Amino acid sequence: MSGIFTLKETINTLEAIFERHKDERIYVLGTTCCGKSTLISQIQNCIDMDSIAFIDITAEESAIINRTPWTKEVGDMVDKIVYRNVKIQPGFPVFGTVIVDCEVVVYLDISDDLLAKHCEKRGASFNDAKQMKEAIEDDWNNHKAQNDKMCYYVMILE
């Protein structure tokens, strides 16, 4: 399943996917500023990866993941922490930036133009968000190629 959706359509689509796969572990993947937090606030039982991944990290890990600009080293450290700390339970989809052990992955894509607008609104770096998006797309494509997960693609329009 794939498509291009408005916010309401995205919410309806995600809710349908969540219902269809209610007994499976679901991960919703997207770059910073793509709208994950907005969606989490409007859909029941969703969890932000950051709320569980970064609770118990070392000072060294914190120093690395909070560096700017975003680099591969930052991304690799985030991956390490997330793989260690994030475990998904059926019925509680996790939204984040790193695919973890799950059966279903939903990729929230966003155009560069809209991403730039979202970054400007939040005061975030478009270059960092774009680099993160490229790394996320590589991870998404690698998992799709393995064909071991049900994959959904959703293009964010607003």
Q: What is the dihedral of CA 57, 63, 64, 69, to 10 degrees?
A: 140
Cis geometry, peptide bond prior to residue 90 (ω within 30 degrees of 0): no
- The rounded distance, in Å, linking the Cα atoms of 156 and 111 is 8
Structure tokens of 106?
Answer: 């939903």
Query: In the prediction, which pLDDT does 23 show?
Result: 98
Q: Can you state the angle between helices 126-146 and 112-122, rounded to 10 degrees?
A: 130
Summarised one tens digit per residue, pLDDT across range 90-105 is 999 999 999 999 999 9
The pLDDT score that the predictor gives to residue 2 is: 61
- pLDDT at residue 1 in the model: 54
Reported pTM? 0.90
* Domains along the chain with CATH numbers: 2-156 (3.40.50)
Model pLDDT for residues 76-90, shown as the tens digit of each residue: 999 999 999 999 999
| Residue 90 near residue 23 (C-beta atoms within 8 A) | yes
In 3D, which of 129, 157, 151 has the Cα closest to residue 27? 151
Q: Are the C-beta atoms of 83 and 100 separated by less than 8 Å?
A: yes
Distance CA 41, CA 57 (A): 25
Output the tens digit of pLDDT for each of the chain's 158 residues.
566 668 899 999 999 999 999 999 999 999 999 999 999 999 999 999 999 999 989 999 999 999 888 888 998 999 999 999 999 999 999 999 999 999 999 999 999 999 999 999 999 999 999 999 999 999 999 999 999 999 999 998 88
DSSP secondary structure code for residue 24 in this structure? S
Query: Which positions ≥6 away from 34 have C-beta within 8 Å?
Result: 108, 109, 110, 115, 118, 133, 156
What does the alpha-carbon distance between residue 82 and residue 84 come to, in Å, rounded to a whole number? 5
Report the pLDDT value the prediction gives residue 158, as an integer from 0 to 100. Answer: 81
Q: C-alpha angle with apex 55: 51 to 58, nearest 5 degrees? A: 145
